[in-house]
Amino acid sequence: MSLPPPARGISRRGLLRAGLAGTGALLATGSLASCASPAASTGASSLQVWDPFSGGDGMLMDEMIAAVSSGPDGFTVDRTILEWGASYYTKLAMSAAGGRAADVAVLHLSRLAGYAPGGLLDPWDLDLLAEFGVTERDFTPAIWSRVQHEGTVYGIPLDTHPFIAFFNVDLADQAGLLDSEGQLLPLASPEALIAAGEALAGASGGQGIVFGHVNDTAQNWRQFFGLYSQTGAEFTLPDGGTPRVDRDQAVRVASFIRELYGGGPNPGGLDYNGAMASFMGGRAGMLMSGEWELPTLRDSGIALGAAPYPQVFEQPAAYADSHAFVLPRQERPDAERRREAHRYVASMIKDSLTWAGAGHIPAYQPVISRPEYAELTPQSSYVEAGEFVVLDPANWFAGAGSNFQNAMSQQLQSMLLGNSSAEQAVDRMISEARTLLDQPNPVA
Per DSSP (E only), the strands in 228-283 are: 235-236, 244-245
pLDDT at 46: 87
Q: Which of 13-22, 318-327, 329-338: highest mean pLDDT?
A: 318-327
Asked if residue 87 has pLDDT above 90, the reply is: no
Q: How confident is the model at residue 332 (pLDDT cuts 50, 70, 90)?
A: confident
Q: Could you give phi then psi for residue 28, rounded to 5 degrees? A: -115, -30
pLDDT at 239: 83
Name which of 5-14, 26-35, 48-57, 249-258 the model is least confident about.
26-35
388 against 32, higher pLDDT:
388
Q: Has residue 111 been placed in a domain? A: yes
Q: How far apart are CA 354 and CA 147, in angstroms?
A: 23
Query: Strand 318-321 vs strand 389-390: parallel, antiparallel, or unpaired?
Result: parallel
pLDDT at 442: 73
- Can you tell me whether residue 227 is helix, strand or coil? helix
Residues 278, 383 within the same domain: no
Q: How far apart are CA 339 and CA 80, in angstroms?
A: 20
Q: How far apart are CA 394 and CA 385, in angstroms?
A: 20
Residues 70, 217 within the same domain: no
Asked if residue 432 has pLDDT above 90, the reply is: yes
Residues 331, 293 within the same domain: no
Residue 237: which of 399, 383, 67 has the closest Cα? 399
Residues 289, 418 within the same domain: yes
Q: How far apart are CA 360 and CA 353, in angstroms?
A: 9
Residues 204, 118 within the same domain: no
Residues 429, 288 within the same domain: yes
Per DSSP (E only), the strands in 101-184 are: 104-108, 121-122, 148-149, 152-153, 156-157, 159-168
The crossing angle, in degrees rounded to 10, of helices 335-350 and 55-69 is 110
Q: Has residue 258 been placed in a domain? A: yes
pLDDT at 289: 98
Q: How confident is the model at residue 444 (pLDDT cuts 50, 70, 90)?
A: low
CB neighbour list of residue 195: distance below 8 Å, 6 or more residues apart? none
Q: Has residue 397 been placed in a domain? A: no
172 against 11, higher pLDDT:
172
Average pLDDT over every residue of 56-85: 93
Residues 414, 335 within the same domain: no
Name which of 90-104, 244-258, 312-326 the model is least confident about.
90-104
Asked if residue 180 has pLDDT above 90, the reply is: yes
Average pLDDT over every residue of 35-50: 55
Neighbours of 150 (CB within 10 A): 8
Task: Give the predicted TM-score (pTM) of the model.
Answer: 0.89
DSSP secondary structure string, 181-202? TSPBPP--SHHHHHHHHHHHHH
Q: How far apart are CA 197 and CA 211, in angstroms?
A: 12
Residues 377, 315 within the same domain: no
Q: Has residue 33 been placed in a domain? A: yes
Q: How confident is the model at residue 207 (pLDDT cuts 50, 70, 90)?
A: very high
Asked if residue 21 has pLDDT above 50, the reply is: no
CB neighbour list of residue 351: distance below 8 Å, 6 or more residues apart? 64, 67, 68
Average pLDDT, the chain: 89
Residues 144, 27 within the same domain: yes
Q: How far apart are CA 367 and CA 346, in angstroms?
A: 12
pLDDT at 33: 28
Asked if residue 5 has pLDDT above 80, the reply is: no
pLDDT single digits (tens) 268-284: 999 999 999 999 999 99
Residues 223, 265 within the same domain: yes
Q: How confident is the model at residue 18 (pLDDT cuts 50, 70, 90)?
A: very low
Q: Would you mind telling me the total number of residues written for the chain in this entry?
A: 444
pLDDT at 407: 97
Q: Has residue 192 been placed in a domain? A: yes
pLDDT at 420: 97
Indicate if the alpha-carbon torsion angle 436, 440, 443, 444 is positive or negative.
positive
What is the number of domains present in the chain?
Answer: 2
Name which of 39-48, 186-195, 208-217, 400-409 the model is least confident about.
39-48
Q: What is the CATH number of the domain that holds 284?
A: 3.40.190.10
pLDDT at 44: 41
Q: How confident is the model at residue 45 (pLDDT cuts 50, 70, 90)?
A: low
Q: Which long-range contacts (CB under 8 A, 24 or more apart) does 173-179 make?
A: 174/203, 175/199, 175/200, 175/202, 175/203, 175/285, 178/305
Residues 16, 109 within the same domain: yes
Asked if residue 443 has pLDDT above 70, the reply is: no
Average pLDDT over every residue of 367-373: 97
**Taking the C-alpha atoms of 418, 420, 421 and 426 in order, what is their torsion angle to the nearest 10 degrees?**
-130
Q: Has residue 226 been placed in a domain? A: yes
Residue 130 domain boundaries: 12-158+322-390
Proportion of the chain above pLDDT 90, given as a percent: 81
Q: Has residue 353 been placed in a domain? A: yes
Q: How far apart are CA 443 and CA 435, in angstroms?
A: 18
Asked if residue 23 has pLDDT above 70, the reply is: no
pLDDT at 71: 86
Asked if residue 366 has pLDDT above 60, the reply is: yes
Average pLDDT over every residue of 163-179: 98
Asked if residue 11 has pLDDT above 50, the reply is: no
Average pLDDT over every residue of 90-96: 90
Residues 172, 215 within the same domain: yes
Q: Has residue 244 been placed in a domain? A: yes
Q: How confident is the model at residue 12 (pLDDT cuts 50, 70, 90)?
A: very low
The burial class, CB within 10 Å (0-12 / 13-18 / 19+), for 71 is: exposed
Q: How far apart are CA 40 and CA 303, in angstroms?
A: 49
Q: How confident is the model at residue 58 (pLDDT cuts 50, 70, 90)?
A: very high
In sequence order, what are the beta bridge partners of 184?
178
Neighbours of 27 (CB within 10 A): 17
